[in-house]
Structure 1
């Protein structure tokens, strides 16, 4: 799936370190049947990944594979800023937005189900069990470990120390 370089790097790390594989990869639009007509496997993220029929395909949960490999959670997304910008961010606005979203989760699930055609139960499970909203110590360690391994595999530059400002609570 050409929509996530992070997930593409994660797949390459997992295949190399867990399975001893180094497959040839190429970017492609997130259309499963089309992808599999030209390749042995496909990476899908977001809603397209939730739509894959589990009875027809072998599906690897990337976060679960990462947890097995490292013992750490995987962080798929963060809001990042340069140091001087991060210092001026009104963190309480982000906390308020998170609180509002969590309070309206049923409405968000219903709206997303209508827009995507996905089952509300699938979305609710995904939003409540698969997504983690706080950026705690384990998530910070998982992100740091991913960045270290991505650099070691030549998939990302080596970065300096990460600094987290105003960790958001759940």
Structure 2
């Protein structure tokens, strides 16, 4: 089995057990590359961006594992140097879901900003030519240390809809329920052995333990009825704004 994994700290806990025990071959990549690997059948199963799944859901089988938050997500944020949402927002090259989520949030809040695609994924580079920067994953965690957070998109979505935001959803082209069961098993092991996973992550990434605890607890990785409703709501907003 070849299982895809987002190359971000947010996947560390759910994959910890399966990687520790070497129960499958894990292939790490960013969200955009993950799509290519899955479609070319170089991996059997992986989380993919929710927006891409919704746009192409007739081509994929969907499973329980996900990357979601019920409020603050910490690692999908807009930052700036002065704490203000500038007129020109640079968009990381790593995202499809988050940029469309930002479009919805700005429209619902009646805010007009120019969204500028960039070839970078680091806030430092994006802010050289833009007033604000949308960054995700580990780049967002790094940006929090140096710049001011203008928006946490997980929190904004929760305030807008009352539901969790599902940023990534596990999928396959062929039937790979066994892969999903393995990752869900690994996830539940990680939650039961939370302290071990956190200490391991602190040692590997050098991030403050208190922050990592808050970050891991903010994330949801198993689809439930609220996550399902959040994903459906995101699809409805995308269709309303003609993004899908």
**Which TM bucket (shorter chain)?**
0.7 to 0.9
> Helix, strand or coil for the counterpart of 1:44?
strand
Say whether the 8 Å CA contact 1:15–1:21 is kept in structure 2.
yes
CA distance in 2, matches of 1:108, 1:97: 11
CA distance in 2, matches of 1:126, 1:120: 10
The equivalences for 1:4-153 within 5 A come to 4-53=95-144, 56-81=147-172, 85=175, 89-90=177-178, 92-128=181-217, 130-153=218-241
> Helix, strand or coil for the counterpart of 2:221?
coil
User: Residues 116, 54 of structure 1: CA spacing in aligned structure 2 closer, same or farther, 3 A cutoff?
Assistant: closer
User: Residues 94, 116 of structure 1: CA spacing in aligned structure 2 closer, same or farther, 3 A cutoff?
Assistant: closer
CA shift for structure 1 position 59: 2.8
For structure 2, the residue ranges without an aligned partner over 5 or more in a row are: 1-91
Q: TM-score, normalised by structure 1?
A: 0.77
> Helix, strand or coil for the counterpart of 2:150?
coil
User: Residues 46, 24 of structure 1: CA spacing in aligned structure 2 closer, same or farther, 3 A cutoff?
Assistant: closer
Q: TM-score, normalised by structure 2?
A: 0.55
CA shift for structure 1 position 119: 0.9
RMSD: 2.3
In proportion to residue count, which structure has more helix?
1
- Offset from partner CA, 1:126-162 (integer Å, 9 cap, x none): 001x102331111101101112212332333xxxxxx
Higher relative contact order (Cα pairs below 8 Å, separated by 6+ residues): 2
